[in-house]
Amino acid sequence: MTAVERKLDAVDAADRIAAVDGAIEARRSVRAFLPTPVPRTTVEDILRVARCAPSGTNMQPWQVYVLTGNAKASLSRALRAVHDDPEAVREHKHEKPYYPEPWPEPWLSRRRKLGWELYGLLGIQREDRDRMQHQHGRNLDFFDAPVGMVFTISRRLELGSWLDYGGFLQNIAIAAQARGLGTCIQAAFAPLHRVVRSHLNLSDDEMVVCGLSLGHPDPARPENTLRSHREPVSVFADFRE
Side-chain-side CA neighbours of 206 within 13 Å: the count stands at: 20
Distance of CA 202 to the CA centre of its chain: 21
**How does pLDDT run across 82-138, given as a tens digit for each residue?**
999 988 899 999 999 899 999 999 999 999 999 999 999 999 998 899 999 999 999
**Domain locations in the chain as residue ranges:** 25-99+140-227
Question: Tens digit of pLDDT for each residue in 133-179?
Answer: 999 999 999 999 999 999 999 999 999 999 999 999 999 999 999 99
Nearest residue to 216 via CA among 46, 25, 36, 26: 36
Burial class (CB in 10 A: 0-12, 13-18, 19+), 214: buried
Question: What percent of the chain stands above pLDDT 70?
Answer: 95
The mean pLDDT of 230-239, rounded to a whole number, is: 97
Gap between the Cα atoms of 69 and 62, Å rounded: 23
- Helices and strands (H, E) in the chain, number of each type: 9, 4
Peptide bond into 191 cis (omega under 30): no
CA distance 27 to 170: 10
User: Going along the chain, which residue ranges are E strands?
Assistant: 63-67, 147-154, 182-186, 206-215
**Topology (CATH level 3) of domain 25-99+140-227:** NADH Oxidase (3.40.109)
Average pLDDT for 51-79 = 98
